Amino acid sequence: MANITDVKELTHFIEGKMITGKSGRFSEVFNPATGEVIAKVPLASAEEVKEAIEKAEAAFPAWRDLSVAKRAEIVMKFRHLLTENKEKLIELICTESGKTEEDALGEITRGIESVDLAINAPHLMKGEYSVNVGGQINAYSAKYPLGVVTAISPFNFPIMVPLAQTSMAVAVGNAVILKASERVPMTALFMSELWKEAGLPDGIWTVINGDKEAVNELLENPAVQAVSFVGSTPVAHYIYETSAKYGKRVVALGGGKNNMVVMPDADLEQVANAFISAGYGAASQRCMAISTLMPVGQETADRLVEILKEKIENLKVGAYTDNADYGPVISRQAKENILKAIDRSEEEGAKIVCDGRYKDITKNSNGFFLAPTLLDNVKPGMEIYEEEVFGPVRNIVRVDNLEEAIDLINQHELGNGVTIFTNDGLAARKFTTEIDVGMVGVNVPIPIPVGYHNFAGFKGSRFGDGQMFGPDQANFYTKSKMVSERWLAPSENSGLSFAFPSNK
């Protein structure tokens, strides 16, 4: 494998070329497992973003006019290149995000599902046709790409989320500008090379690295027609409000406070394994990670805590080269914030079952590692219950019955994902019917849909319209035109009428 740690100064990708940043501003890129700076990434100025948008806008008409089948062919070549370069992608993801190899491979696999769906753009762009809707008029609809669109992606999925946000946008004929997370820019730049090799015309795929200055230009520039965002809820709300103010189509997905309800009849050994993998995998840096366990009944809770304690204490935390269960969090600041959240939880009365604060890897590693923490007797109103914590500290909220669990979940401002573990079909049906959450699992630890189903939460987890995965993306990234046509013979006289058109 290439020695990517030698990379010092990264670039943007504009009009088919790696372009050196002009702003003079940079952000450091860390290897979270070592704490070392492995690169510096340029932070684009508003003027640089404007220039990139202009180049994308100029490239758009030719791509729009290319047949959708030809566009799908290029997307298919891109898919083959992703598969051929999995090892390189795994190395990049693990190095700049700290994930394990297994987790990185899983992310790539799920990301390719979005590309697979985009290959079906010829089918998803089909319109409708009706013959003789009245007065020998035929009516049909046709879908057209929007133009220049942008995706703003998070650090926790360097490839899966960008692929989910952009693959369909490219396939249906848009020019796409990806504002990758400045914490994980190398994977996005490597994707750019693959798009180039697949034959995508210059200007149709752009990667701009930057911070709020770059983002604001993307949100405010009139040439950008649609915005897709994945990140924290406060930023999602800002993205939505700003984009809507400037008349753009927008979907902004925010955070989640995802619950796992455990009924007394569930197999607690299975539940424990599911909770640990869904709660602590990727150092809990997933918007669909289970953060709160809700066992129904004190006996269920006591038995489950006993099982979990031993399993969690035996988790191996380390670098992706160490065959670890999970790796570091993304930054030193993130680690410090998580440790403070644990301290406050203890002050608020939570009981610490497993304390990761004082483990050797937490205290003495140069990397941003945190051993797992589990809190019991967490109550609504505590900070750890109300707010999303993007790190390996999970909590237990004890409830007396299923109704209480449903009420608590529905009252929370976030509604991303939720799951129930039970062997009772009636309980599962009640739960799936009454719960006010966008993605629901039954005996499934992470209820994230596959790439050909839609993905989005409710309430504060989602702002705007559209989806991140699924066929609705074809609608989000296109506009529909309705045409009514009639062909009159030369001798026909339709007559003069002031009545509102209707089918008589």
Q: Which residues contact 368 (CB under 8 A, 6 or more apart)?
A: 30, 32, 33, 35, 98, 328, 329, 330, 331, 332, 334, 335
How many other C-beta atoms lie within 10 A of the C-beta of residue 436?
14
Helix/strand/coil percent split, the chain, to 5? 40, 20, 35
Q: Which residues contact 232 (CB under 8 A, 6 or more apart)?
A: 254, 255, 388
The Cα–Cα gap between 12 and 338 comes to 32
Classify 417 as helix, strand or coil: strand
Contact by Cβ (8 Å): 239, 223:
no
The Cα–Cα gap between 177 and 172 comes to 15
Closest to 367 (Cα-Cα) out of 94, 5, 98, 27:
98
At residue 374, what are phi and psi to the nearest 5 degrees? -130, 130
**437 class by beta-carbon count within 10 Å (0-12 exposed, 13-18 middle, 19+ buried):** buried
Residues noted as catalytic = 287
